Amino acid sequence: LSEAVRNGDYLAVEKIISEQDPYEVRRVKMPTITSADEPNIIASTSDTRLIGCLCEPQADAINWMEISKGQPYQCYCGHWFRLVDFEDYLSRSHNSKQPA
């Protein structure tokens, strides 16, 4: 946060504040279709992260998997995930808000 303020990147500051989730346990709504080229992006400061996928809306079990930075991972249900640095996550979010 302090680096974003220092650099004057107020869109990043807004995103950090509005999505404040200190333990990174917030449930993320996934797109209907994902692929290796368009995976769900997960931000982390670590090289690996444990994530859970509710494969179906009515599911009563969570499929847990450990993913690492670099390559996309596929859940048993077909959803794709990629772990990235927060800087990459924020730049992707910032670029997606730019008008086409």
User: Does residue 43 have a known ligand-binding role?
Assistant: no
| Residue 11: CA count within 13 A, CB half-sphere | 11
Q: Annotated binding residue at 11? A: no
Q: Tokens for 98?
A: 């730019």
Q: Is 53 flagged in the annotation as binding?
A: yes
Q: CA 11, CA 51: separation in Å to the nearest integer?
A: 26
User: Residue 12 annotated as binding?
Assistant: no
Question: What is the b/e burial string over 63-93, where b = at least 16 CB atoms within 10 angstroms of the residue's CB?
Answer: eeeebeeeebbebeeebbbbbbeeeebbeee
From the annotation, which residues make up the binding site? 53, 55, 75, 77
Q: Residues comprising the binding site for Zn(2+)? A: 53, 55, 75, 77
